Amino acid sequence: MSGDVLTPAETERLAAAADRIRHRVVDLCASAVGGHLGGALSCVDILTVLYFSVLRIDPGRPDAPDRDVFVLGKGHAAVGLYAALAERGFFDPGELAGYGVDGSRFMGHPVTAVPGVEVPTGSLGHGLSLGLGFALAARLDRSPRTVYVLVGDGELQEGSCWEAIMCAAAQGVPNLVAVVDRNGMQLGSPTESVCALEPLAQRWRDFGWRVREVDGHDHSSLRAALRADPEGPTAVLAETVKGRGLPFAAGQAKSHYATLSPRMRERAHRALRSGRKPGPS
Amino acid sequence: MTEPRSTRDAYRDHLVRMMRDDPRIVCLDTDTGLFGGVDFGDAADRYLNLGIAEQNLMGVAAGMAAAGRIPFVNTMATFAANRAAEMVKLDIAYNALPVRIAATHAGVSAGHLGPTHHALEDLGTMRAWPNMTVLAPADAATVTALLDETADRPGPVYLRLGRGPTPPLPPGLPPVRLGALHPVRTGREAVLLAVGPQLLPRCAAAVDLLAERGLAAGLLHAHTLKPFDAATLLEWAGPARLVVTVEDHWRSGGLGSLVAETLSERLPRPVLRLGLPDGFADEAGSEAWILDRAGLSPGDIAAAVAAADPGPAEAGLPSVRLVPTTIAKRSVRHG
């Protein structure tokens, strides 16, 4: 996983972006409707590295041909995606104040009316097939496009995921990268106590994928792992913590959905500020 | 063009021609066997057999369509409408993507293969979803005419296909146009609307039997259920004493529901809805046998229409009366 070491300036840039995104996630979850706090925070670092270092995209031309495509399989992490897109410049971050408000385009699951969202998601088990479709089209078009799909670990209990995983390997697409947000939790319990996924890396390998296991909160490791492999589809298993960065939420199933009170919102911002020092941890 | 031909084969052969002319088209298969031995020529790299996985099929098609392709997906009607329903609804219809869903084995055309392979609700589900175009052509020539009209049509298209050879429509009819009810017989005392390659010929024969009894019935080929040609329905229903729908579909959700919904808003009146009874087939049977048993033979259709016909209006009497439905007596036995 060497050869893609971040420079100190890049490290600082990504850490600052992730920090801003986390604060925005807290704000969105302090809205009247709340949001999927835990599963958004677990993937903030993945989204940050993708949107600020990996994806070949141009916020000024969201429909540019041959752009890389990102699909949020775990669509309930919409508040994380909205925050990342806002920070990346796809729209004015001030628009996020409309999240969940009557008549707003910022719904609880992402929709294509939001600039930068390629496909709407929210029902689990759709993202990998959609991503495979983009990848197959790119192969026919001889496009340099790489497709990244962020999948929840609980989402992998949906059988349709495994249809896509099997098919992608059979088709041998080299331009598809699945990223598993392995936070170990689903709605109310650990994944392993509900319907066990382990040995997860072996399962992906057995289905014909190249597998990279990384610390899903380490930007340098993520940057090195998030790339396609000419030999075929690649799965990046990112070990993460649900509710990452908030001591009262981290690793806890109850962080799945939250509507933060003003007091909890302040507490969350304080926790994020203190966690900011010394690094992006 | 007078030889009986299945709408499924007509679709396949025309798709191969379309693929040669339109490089956007890709053909996505779920190991249906429909394309065995087909020579795609230069388009061979645009045929992908994705395996027996219909949910994945629909998602992949949506992704490819979002990237600029026009995918034709191939599966059986029941798997498109049921097993992969959420992918059709969310990945394809919600995004208004130009995926063409070729759905074979519609109605009871799977015959003895039984309820696992029958599709008797697909028109109901497909037409419920926004952005869908829903087609159910009754003969091979209609398949090619409608497919040609879909070339640049935005949004998804559901193409309901039969399995066995069926006769062509009689010559001399006006051309088929997508979205327009297609008059096949012109009597005006009653009007029948029929869907699909089995029921349209059966209804044509029923119209002949009714003519022998002195009842002049019209017949409309309902090849497009969405968008629906309400104007033509109203034009024909206005002077008719009786409106009848005939379909190889459960009586709920399909053509009968569509016609009843449309008339209830614009021209309220009884509608005789003929279709498959509210049950699952519990005995083996050919398609023809199952349809006959459901009261959908030409003779039974004619008898049902005649029984429901209120007769010419007499002075001071309403011109229509409530009609009994004969179908309940024929419901499939259970247990």
**The pLDDT value given to residue B67:** 98
Percent of chain A whose pLDDT exceeds 90: 94
Q: How many Å apart are CA B193 and CA B183, to the nearest integer? A: 9
Q: What is the pLDDT of residues A45-70, one digit of tens each?
A: 999 999 999 999 999 999 999 999 99
**The pLDDT value given to residue A278:** 47
Band (pLDDT 50/70/90 cuts) for residue A4 is low
Q: What is the pLDDT of residues B42-52, one digit of tens each?
A: 999 999 999 99
**The pLDDT value given to residue B317:** 45
Nearest to B63 among A123, A125, A130 (CB): A130
Band (pLDDT 50/70/90 cuts) for residue B194 is very high
Geometric angle at alpha carbon B289, from B283 and B292, rounded to 5°: 115
**The pLDDT value given to residue B334:** 40
DSSP B145-156: HHHHHTTT--S-
Q: What is the pLDDT of residues A19-38, one digit of tens each?
A: 999 999 999 999 999 999 99
Q: What is the pLDDT of residues A81-99, one digit of tens each?
A: 999 999 999 999 999 999 9
Mean pLDDT of all residues belonging to chain B: 93
CA A34 distance to own-chain centroid: 19
Q: How many Å apart are CA B210 and CA A192, to the nearest integer? A: 68
Could you tell me the CA-to-CA distances from A237 to A73, A199, A209, A213 in Å, in that order? 14, 12, 12, 5
Contacts of B67 in chain A (CB under 8 A): 69, 133-134, 137-138, 141
Contact B51 A167 (CB under 8 A): yes
**The pLDDT value given to residue B314:** 61
CA distance B21 to chain A (A): 16
- 3-class state of residue A190 by DSSP: strand
Band (pLDDT 50/70/90 cuts) for residue B313 is confident
**The pLDDT value given to residue A5:** 77
Is the pLDDT confidence value at A162 over 50? yes
Tell me if chain B has a CB within 8 Å of the CB of A163.
yes
- 3-class state of residue B272 by DSSP: strand
DSSP B80-102: IIIITHHIIIIIIITTT---EEE
Band (pLDDT 50/70/90 cuts) for residue B116 is very high
**The pLDDT value given to residue B2:** 78
Contact B48 A137 (CB under 8 A): no
Contact B95 A119 (CB under 8 A): yes
Tell me if chain B has a CB within 8 Å of the CB of A138.
yes
Band (pLDDT 50/70/90 cuts) for residue B312 is confident
Is the pLDDT confidence value at B327 over 80? no
Task: Note the pTM of the prediction, 2 decimals.
Answer: 0.94
Is the pLDDT confidence value at A203 over 80? yes
**The pLDDT value given to residue B1:** 55
Is the pLDDT confidence value at B84 over 70? yes
